[in-house]
A = this chain, B = another copy of it.
Amino acid sequence: MPRDAPSVPIDFATEPGRYRHWRLECDGAIATLTLDVDPAGGLFPGTELKLNSYDLGVDIELADAVTRLRFEHPEVRAVVVRSGKEKVFCAGANIGALAKASHAHKVNFCKFTNETRLAIEDASAHSGQRYLAALGGTAAGGGYELALACDWIMLVDDRRSAVSLPELALLGVLPGTGGLTRLTDKRRVRRDRADVFCATEEGVRGRRALDWRLVDEVVPPSAWEAAVAGRAAALGATSDRPHPLPNPPPLAGEGRVGAGAQGINLPALERRIAGDAILYPHVRVALDRARRRATISVLGPPLVPADLAGIHAEGAAFWPLALAREVDDAILHLRFNEPGLGTIVFRSQGDPEAVLASDALLDAHAGDWLVRETRLFLKRVLKRIDVTSRSLFALIEPGSCFAGSLAELVFAADRALMFDGTRAGDNRGGATLALSPLNFGAYPMGNGISRLATRFLGEPDSLERAEARIGAALGAAEAEALGLVTASHDEIDWDDEIRLMLEERASFSPDALTGLEANLRFAGPETMETRIFGRLSAWQNWIFQRPNAVGDEGALKRYGTGQRPRFDPERV
């Protein structure tokens, strides 16, 4: 548990009217996200969020804004991220909060902020919403890392404002939100310059920042506002999002322009926490603290809209979107508020045919802006599951509906077990697993390829064999023969096998499991994203655990005390 934990569970639900740290303003095709942190609004008691420094609470608002911009504002083509304070863009993560946090909270905090920055890049790459970092003052540490996630970085050239990654010099840790990877891989900064930059507490400004590719543009103060507006408009012009109505006029029929240009509202999730259960309309989470596991049961679609108009009419109630939002919330809740539950078991209940019908809609209307956003949101939620440091098991049982998009939970799991045959007295028949076209590319993992392609890297024939069975209700024997599940057991063995598997898992070292899963889940290609979660984060986790950072004389502990840290000089 956090050493100095927030007094209430961390809640990821918010909306612009409740933001304390960000302002979201939309003006036609251009939105502005203004960071203006309330110093007294920290999540940890006693921390003061000075100089636009942030903690998890600030980032929860940013993540919410990034999602809402996509669903609620189809007309927004460019987002300007700027500061509401003079002379400073953002001082990065708040060190007081970081120093007070438990190791697990630090790691989860970095993971969540990384996911939010990747969501910004995803909005630009796949959803046509471009991000402009308008640095009207110094961007330090996590502040500069936020800028690095944007498409274009403008820095005011006032002889004072700089970009910097002072973590090494000030804190004895690494930039924790992808900074090093974006320097080397996204901006391809020369390695020795990156080394100098990371060792320079005060950072780099003006011409040198441009020459070293740390920023894309430097602008004198007198030309600043005009340049920001011009650059935002230019970025927006590269977008494929719907134009704001009525200019240009809507086209007839479906598509990215026209019917879709009316955003949908994302209402607050209905969630009820009752003892050891967390209940949403489509998701039930059962917590078993004694056995250290959580079971997430997802419910299939109650109804499937008839057509695209039906999807838009349902809006946030459209089952795939509603489900994705609920699962996302549940996973984040488990990550932050239930760190002792080491295993997550996925179950499902419903009509597989309805899931396939829903998938058919998502497939047929892939070009519609709202369907696109829904698919992309599902993709991001599934990726969040992939990098969740809990053992993941899926149980495919009579009455379950792991089909198409829902079957991605099966393929995200470390193991999937399938019930073979029927249960005595259960008239729902045998368990089935079904594939849809969406299992073959709609939801790539962080490595850029689908879960099935990753699974079958060593046997491409298996991928083709699976594809040939799209739509079929696969029984246990066939699913196992196709390599889609780990094993199947009949009624005689099922309960014991599952119990033994879960007990065994709970007996292993939680740390070794985290490392094992982080390695086994991501075979195949590496991307900036997998490098951030796999390489950079692993090193940061190690550093976060070392006495040189978190010991009584370590740099994180001594930051701000006026005392210099004392380091064990031994290199590892």
Residues of A within 8 A of B (CB): 1, 103-104, 107-108, 167-169, 171-174, 180-181, 183-185, 187-196, 198-199, 213, 292, 339-342, 389-390, 413-416, 454-459, 483, 485-486, 504-506, 508-526, 531, 534-536, 538-543, 545-546, 548-549, 555, 565, 567-572
Known contacts A519-B181, A545-B545; A512/B173 CB under 8 A: yes
Q: Give the distance in Å from the alpha carbon of A108 to the alpha carbon of B483 in the complex.
A: 39
Known contacts A545-B542, A571-B340; A180/B486 CB under 8 A: no
Q: What residues of chain B lie closer than 8 Å to A169, measured between beta carbons? A: 508
Q: What residues of chain B lie closer than 8 Å to A555, measured between beta carbons? A: 509, 512
- Residue of B at shortest CB range from A546? B511
Of B168, B173, B539, the residue contacting A538 (CB under 8 A) is B539
Known contacts A192-B486, A458-B188; A516/B103 CB under 8 A: no
Q: Give the distance in Å from the alpha carbon of A555 to the alpha carbon of B504 in the complex.
A: 15
Contact B513 A168 (CB under 8 A): yes
Of B180, B512, B518, B521, the residue contacting A549 (CB under 8 A) is B512
Contact B572 A191 (CB under 8 A): no
Q: What residues of chain B lie closer than 8 Å to A196, measured between beta carbons? A: 415, 486
Q: What residues of chain B lie closer than 8 Å to A506, measured between beta carbons? A: 569
Contact B570 A339 (CB under 8 A): yes
Of B185, B505, B536, B545, the residue contacting A546 (CB under 8 A) is B545
Of B187, B189, B512, the residue contacting A168 (CB under 8 A) is B512
Known contacts A191-B455, A571-B104; A511/B543 CB under 8 A: yes
A–B pairs, 14, beta carbons within 8 Å: A168-B508, A172-B509, A174-B516, A184-B519, A195-B414, A195-B517, A342-B569, A509-B543, A509-B567, A511-B543, A515-B542, A526-B531, A535-B538, A539-B541
Q: What residues of chain B lie closer than 8 Å to A191, measured between beta carbons? A: 414, 454-455, 520-521, 523
Q: Give the distance in Å from the alpha carbon of A339 to the alpha carbon of B572 in the complex.
A: 7
Contact B514 A190 (CB under 8 A): no
Of B413, B520, B572, the residue contacting A510 (CB under 8 A) is B572
Q: What residues of chain B lie closer than 8 Å to A514, measured between beta carbons? A: 539, 543, 571-572
Known contacts A199-B504, A509-B548, A509-B555; A572/B190 CB under 8 A: no
Top 5 A-B residue pairs of the complex, sorted by shortest distance between their CB atoms: A188-B458, A172-B509, A538-B538, A526-B526, A515-B539
Of B511, B539, B541, B542, the residue contacting A519 (CB under 8 A) is B539
Q: What residues of chain B lie closer than 8 Å to A199, measured between beta carbons? A: 504-505, 508
**CB proximity of A460 to chain B, nearest CB, Å:** 10
Contact A536 B519 (CB under 8 A): yes
Q: Give the distance in Å from the alpha carbon of A514 to the alpha carbon of B259 in the complex.
A: 54
- Residue of B at shortest CB range from A531? B526
- Residue of B at shortest CB range from A568? B510
**CB proximity of A528 to chain B, nearest CB, Å:** 11
**CB proximity of A511 to chain B, nearest CB, Å:** 5
Please name 12 further chain A to chain B contacts, defined as beta carbons within 8 Å, in addition to the given A172-B511, A192-B455, A542-B542, sorted by A numbering. Answer: A168-B508, A168-B516, A172-B508, A172-B509, A189-B458, A193-B486, A199-B508, A292-B569, A509-B555, A510-B568, A511-B543, A515-B543
**CB proximity of A44 to chain B, nearest CB, Å:** 18
Q: What residues of chain B lie closer than 8 Å to A483, measured between beta carbons? A: 190
Contact B504 A571 (CB under 8 A): no
**CB proximity of A199 to chain B, nearest CB, Å:** 7
Known contacts A486-B196, A515-B540, A519-B536; A103/B414 CB under 8 A: no
Contact A520 B194 (CB under 8 A): yes
Contact B195 A515 (CB under 8 A): no
- Residue of B at shortest CB range from A172? B509
Of B108, B195, B213, B525, the residue contacting A458 (CB under 8 A) is B213
Contact B174 A519 (CB under 8 A): yes
Contact B516 A416 (CB under 8 A): no
Q: Give the distance in Å from the alpha carbon of A413 to the alpha carbon of B508 in the complex.
A: 41
Q: Give the distance in Å from the alpha carbon of A518 to the alpha carbon of B505 in the complex.
A: 32
**CB proximity of A30 to chain B, nearest CB, Å:** 29
Q: Give the distance in Å from the alpha carbon of A188 to the alpha carbon of B174 in the complex.
A: 32
Of B192, B415, B485, B536, the residue contacting A414 (CB under 8 A) is B192
Q: Give the distance in Å from the alpha carbon of A459 to the alpha carbon of B188 in the complex.
A: 8
- Residue of B at shortest CB range from A186? B458
Q: Give the distance in Å from the alpha carbon of A540 to the alpha carbon of B1 in the complex.
A: 23
Of B339, B512, B534, the residue contacting A167 (CB under 8 A) is B512
- Residue of B at shortest CB range from A462? B190
- Residue of B at shortest CB range from A189? B458
Q: What residues of chain B lie closer than 8 Å to A565, measured between beta carbons? A: 509
